[in-house]
Amino acid sequence: MSGIIGGAGSKSGVIGTTELDYEEGTWTPVIADATSGGNSATPDSGGAVGNYTRIGNLVTVNAFYNMASESLTDGNMLYIRGFPFSTSSLANCRYVGNIFVYRIDTLVNTTLIMDPSASVAYTQEKLTESAWDVTSLTCADIRYASTCNLRFNITYQTD
């Protein structure tokens, strides 16, 4: 390996003799109302698609989820589960990503946060038209229409 990350040649350059693990693949996101167990939503045909890239201990995931039906508990937070790798065991870490939700009541902008202790992601800082609500997106928020589309990405560290 030569150069910063790749190419032909000897194992020289910035990396030296360190080999970085590189992997690409697919994963299936799960939308649920609890960090484990609980209820999960049902995607429409082909509506739960995720891709990931892992370089060393950093994982970047991108996903699309088109919810066809759901039986989530209204008052519970909305969680994303099923990530391709567990999160790092480092204490006090949170990883931040982006989420776009289409057909949702009052949501203008929100942040996706990954909780390493449970390897789940949840939404935070729901921005309404009137003010910042430092609360979480709940399952009731996604009942605005018959279908709800979520697109998100996040980069996190794994062991």
Choice between 29 and 144, residue whose per-residue pLDDT is larger: 29
- Mapping DSSP to helix (H, G, I), strand (E, B) and coil, where does residue 137 land? coil
| β partners of residue 133 | 126
Scan for tokens 């605005």, then name that residue: 144
Dist CA 3 CA 5 (whole Å): 6
Beta strand segments in the chain, E: 22-27, 30-32, 42-55, 58-69, 79-81, 95-102, 109-115, 120-127, 132-133, 148-157
Dist CA 62 CA 42 (whole Å): 19
> Binning pLDDT at 50, 70 and 90, where does residue 24 land?
very high
Most confident of 55-59, 68-72, 103-107: 55-59
Half-sphere exposure of 119 (CA within 13 A, CB side): 17
> Binning pLDDT at 50, 70 and 90, where does residue 125 land?
low
- pTM equals 0.74
